[in-house]
């Protein structure tokens, strides 16, 4: 699917990370300076108060897929009742270093039956266009499964 709308040629995103004085910290993001807190998991001596960076990484992948889909399927969003993405990864210890060996994404949508196939096509296109997913796919296996529950108009 070729993008028809005009999009910027280049984007720059920035974060600033601050240590919290314990076993975690916070990320300040972009222009909004939103705060995202993170912590070291208990198994590694942290308190596990917040998401660990691995979970934030998975959230970034799911969020990128969702945002890309919402951009591409702009005119079809009104036919979607619900949209969720579950993402998980396997991390294995190899030669004294952890590596990500598999990432699985499961997208579940509830959509009007009449538009379900078009919505699935947009989601598959989003998977191909999402820059974070493309980056990860160069280094590890990333699988996407899509489940669409089709509903009639009167149950929307």
Encode pLDDT of 30-47 as tens digits.
Answer: 888 899 999 999 999 999
Q: What is the CATH number of domain 1-51?
A: 2.20.25
Q: Where in the chain is the domain with CATH 3.30.300.20?
A: 52-155
* Measured distance CA(95)–CA(75) in Å, rounded: 49
Whether 63 has a pLDDT exceeding 70, the answer reads: yes
The pLDDT of residue 1: 66
Q: Are 100 and 91 in contact (CB under 8 A)?
A: yes
35, 51 Cβ separation under 8 angstroms: no
Highest CATH level, class, for 52-155: alpha beta
pLDDT digits (tens, 9 = 90+) for 64-123: 999 999 999 999 999 999 999 999 999 999 999 999 989 999 999 999 999 999 999 999
| pTM of the predicted protein model | 0.91
């Amino acid at each position: 699917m070729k993008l028809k709308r005009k999009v910027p040629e280049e984007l720059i995103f920035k974060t600033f990370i601050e240590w919290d004085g314990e076993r975690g910290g916070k990320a300040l993001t972009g222009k909004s300076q939103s705060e995202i807190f993170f912590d070291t998991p208990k198994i590694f001596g942290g308190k596990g108060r917040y998401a660990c960076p691995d979970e934030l990484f998975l959230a970034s992948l799911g969020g990128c897929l969702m945002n890309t889909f919402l951009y591409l399927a702009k005119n079809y969003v009104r036919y979607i009742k619900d949209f969720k993405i579950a993402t998980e990864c396997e991390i294995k210890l190899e030669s004294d270093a952890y590596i990500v060996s598999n990432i699985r994404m499961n997208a579940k949508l509830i959509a009007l039956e009449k538009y379900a196939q078009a919505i699935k096509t947009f989601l598959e296109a989003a998977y191909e266009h999402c820059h974070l997913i493309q980056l990860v796919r160069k280094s590890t296996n990333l699988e996407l499964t899509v489940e669409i529950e089709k509903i009639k108009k009167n149950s929307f």
